[in-house]
Structure 1
Amino acid sequence: MAFHEVRFPANLSFGSVGGPERRTEIVTLANGFEERNTPWEHSRRRYDAGVGLRSLDDVEALIAFFEARRGQMFGFRWKDWSDYKSGKASRVVSAFDQIIGAGDGKTVQFHLCKTYRSGAETYLRPILKPVAGSVVVAVDRDLKMEGLEFSVDPTRGLITFETPPDTGVVISAGFEFDVAVRFDTDRIQTSVASFQAGDVPNVPVVEVRV
């Protein structure tokens, strides 16, 4: 898939509106009960990049970014300010935020992931676009050093250890991450007069599978 490993300006995405979207197919039976099913294993996020624009300079930066991506042609990174850390938003990233696997004495590669919990239910979200330099890792609660004991592929969310972790040890990680998205339009309409009056353009952005 055509993707540029560049982040949409974070100062422009701050204040944007958006979040996860699910697809649920609902059939109402003759007795009034429902059958519900979903073809999606993972949610898909949508945002409006126009809400974060505060000045004409912001509009110029948006247009430059849009043109460089050729509209919907190329995907890019997006910082979701409401959900961009492995742990709580108010806390510093910790190597013990998320359990990403267990050692078996052979496997050296593990994918980053984030678990969402509510009551007894959980949802495991793959993290494919970690922020370079933000990933910290621990094996059996022993902190590991990036570059010496493990490496990170920030384009796939993959951790690779120099030596396979021992059987049964817990592997945990902390990180910041972006969302892989693209513009959901091939046209941006702006007006200097309307912008100065307080109106902002509608710039839809949608998550893509990578």
Structure 2
Amino acid sequence: MPSFLEERLPVDVRLGMSYADDYGVQITQVSGGAEYRRLIQPFPVRSFHVNFTTDQADLWARVLALYHRAYGKFAGFRVKCRDDFSSNGMTGIPTPLDQVIPRISAGLYQLRKSYGTNGTALAGLGHPYRTIYKPVAGTLLIGRGGGPIDVGFAVSVDPTTGIVTISPPPSAGDTITAGFQFDLPCRFNSLIEVTALDPTFRDCGSIDLIELLNP
């Protein structure tokens, strides 16, 4: 059974919804009060809390239908965060030079977005990044060596994995950059309670979503 639905949550994450990024950190406090911290995973994991009331009779039904198609907490789906959906800053128009993307093998590259890049990195600390598995089709721009990629290269991207294919393969030492819009792969992390306030209004509050690191 597929564990990911290539469709977007019908409600964009915006007013009436909150989100936060967290990291896997293990903290142990000894009797003297000192803390020992261990970074378990260095990638941001976003959680969303959806709380909205709607008079659109079909909207709450579409959210509930997605919940059932996903078998509740089982399958993932796409979520667009209105505050963070672009490779250029958070919401800017993508450019070919936004993000350096790593080479997987000859001609194959993985989309990703770096965070915490305002200013110079402190010694010993890096900039975390989010692997982009769900780019928005038709938004990809590719750069090579500090400028747009030459017209002699053919570029494609798998919108279900974020893997970019460039043909012919650039040299291993070439810096490849990318601009794109993206969704986040998430799943439901709570039940959905629908409250009928009157014949037209439905309260669909307290829906929790969690990002999937490996969709």
* Equivalent pair of 2:99/2:179 in contact (CA under 8 Å): yes
Structure-1 residue corresponding to 2:61: 60
1:141 aligns with 2:146: yes
Structure-1 residue corresponding to 2:193: 189
Structure-1 residue corresponding to 2:206: 202
Distance in 2 between the 1:90 and 1:203 partners?
A: 24
* Equivalent pair of 2:12/2:79 in contact (CA under 8 Å): no
Q: TM-score, normalised by structure 1?
A: 0.84
Could you tell me how far 1:193 is from its partner in structure 2?
1.8
* Equivalent pair of 1:42/1:125 in contact (CA under 8 Å): yes
Structure-2 residue corresponding to 1:114: 113
Trace 1:52-131 onto structure 2 (pairs within 5 A): 52-57=52-57, 58-101=59-102, 107-116=106-115, 117-118=117-118, 119-120=120-121, 121-131=126-136
Q: What SS class does the counterpart of residue 46 from structure 2 fall into?
A: strand
Could you tell me how far 1:46 is from its partner in structure 2?
0.9
Q: TM-score, normalised by structure 2?
A: 0.82
* Equivalent pair of 1:102/1:168 in contact (CA under 8 Å): no
Summarize the Cα distance change of 1:169–1:5 in structure 2 as closer, same or farther, 3 Å threshold. Answer: same
Give the gaps of 5 or more residues in structure 2. none
Distance in 2 between the 1:60 and 1:114 partners?
A: 33
- Aligned-pair identity in percent equals 25
More strand per residue: 1 or 2? 2
Q: Deviations over 1:98-147 (max 9, x none)?
A: 111479xx72101111111244141122111111111110112342489x
Summarize the Cα distance change of 1:68–1:99 in structure 2 as closer, same or farther, 3 Å threshold. Answer: same
Could you tell me how far 1:179 is from its partner in structure 2?
0.8
Amino acid at match of 2:188: F
Amino acid at match of 1:204: D
Trace 1:10-21 onto structure 2 (pairs within 5 A): 11-15=11-15, 16-21=17-22
Amino acid at match of 1:193: L
Q: Deviations over 1:126-175 (max 9, x none)?
A: 111111111110112342489x6111011111111111112432111001
Amino acid at match of 1:130: P
Distance in 2 between the 1:184 and 1:127 partners?
A: 21
Give the aligned length.
205
RMSD of aligned alpha carbons: 2.8
Could you tell me how far 1:62 is from its partner in structure 2?
1.5
Summarize the Cα distance change of 1:38–1:166 in structure 2 as closer, same or farther, 3 Å threshold. Answer: closer
Give the gaps of 5 or more residues in structure 1. none
Q: What SS class does the counterpart of residue 165 from structure 2 fall into?
A: strand
Q: What SS class does the counterpart of residue 43 from structure 2 fall into?
A: coil
